[in-house]
Amino acid sequence: KQEVTQIPAALSVPEGENLVLNCSFTDSAIYNLQWFRQDPGKGLTSLLLIQSSQREQTSGRLNASLDKSSGRSTLYIAASQPGDSATYLCAVIGAAGNKLTFGGGTRVLVKP
């Protein structure tokens, strides 16, 4: 059974610092991996999706890497801003391609 882990559970950084969020998964037979953002009391917003054949995806200040063989993905957020404060979740779709398995999330606070 696929298990997804995110460490640390919470992170606090000063504004302007780069953020590094980690995600690990136990079964490397994945179809793709997604990073989401969740604001308090809200649904999820998709940030980046990496197909299993890709090594990374970039969108603005966000960059996500994928190392399928070691079961790891990292989300980098450059030059953090207070508006980046949120919970970030990673999720993988297994090789069958029909179910997302989520990590527990990393709660980020960017201090002005």
Give the residues lining the site for other proteins (CB under 8 A).
4, 6, 9, 31-32, 34, 36, 41-46, 49, 89, 91, 93, 97-105, 107
Nearer to other proteins, 8 or 16 (CB): 8
Distances (CA, A) of 68 to 30, 31, 65, 80, 98: 8, 10, 10, 27, 18
Residue type, 28: S
Whether 9 and 105 have beta carbons less than 8 Å apart is answered as yes
Nearer to other proteins, 71 or 105 (CB): 105
* Nearest distance in Å: CB 86, other proteins: 14
* Nearest distance in Å: CB 7, other proteins: 13
Whether 13 and 111 have beta carbons less than 8 Å apart is answered as yes
